[in-house]
């Protein structure tokens, strides 16, 4: 469940509460690309709203904290949006 969507420079952030195995939830901070990059791949500043139920594929933080860098997000209506990063974060040249 989205708790906040921050359409800010230099990076967009999605704050969300994610259910855990004990029946509670963990708060995740998910970093995205810049608003400029996301706009180019179809995102809008109002695409995600507080209270939305979404599914996010992230590259987790190395220190194990709940959060990471977004790969893609699936909205409750089934639409999927990428962060525009190549898989694995490696840029082809």
What is the pTM assigned to this prediction? 0.87
pLDDT category at 87 given cuts 50, 70, 90 is low
Distance CA 57, CA 52 (A): 16
pLDDT value, residue 86: 59
pLDDT band (50, 70, 90) for residue 84: confident
pLDDT digits (tens, 9 = 90+) for 29-69: 999 999 999 999 999 999 999 999 999 999 999 999 999 99
């Amino acid at each position: 469940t989205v708790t906040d969507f921050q359409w800010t420079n230099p990076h967009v952030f999605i704050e969300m509460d994610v259910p855990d195995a004990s029946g509670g939830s963990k708060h995740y901070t998910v970093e995205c690309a810049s608003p400029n990059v996301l706009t180019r791949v179809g995102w809008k500043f109002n695409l995600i709203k507080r209270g939305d139920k979404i599914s996010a594929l992230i590259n987790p933080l190395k220190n194990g904290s709940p959060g990471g860098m977004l790969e893609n997000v699936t909205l409750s209506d089934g639409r999927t949006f990428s962060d525009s990063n190549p898989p694995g974060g490696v840029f082809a040249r």
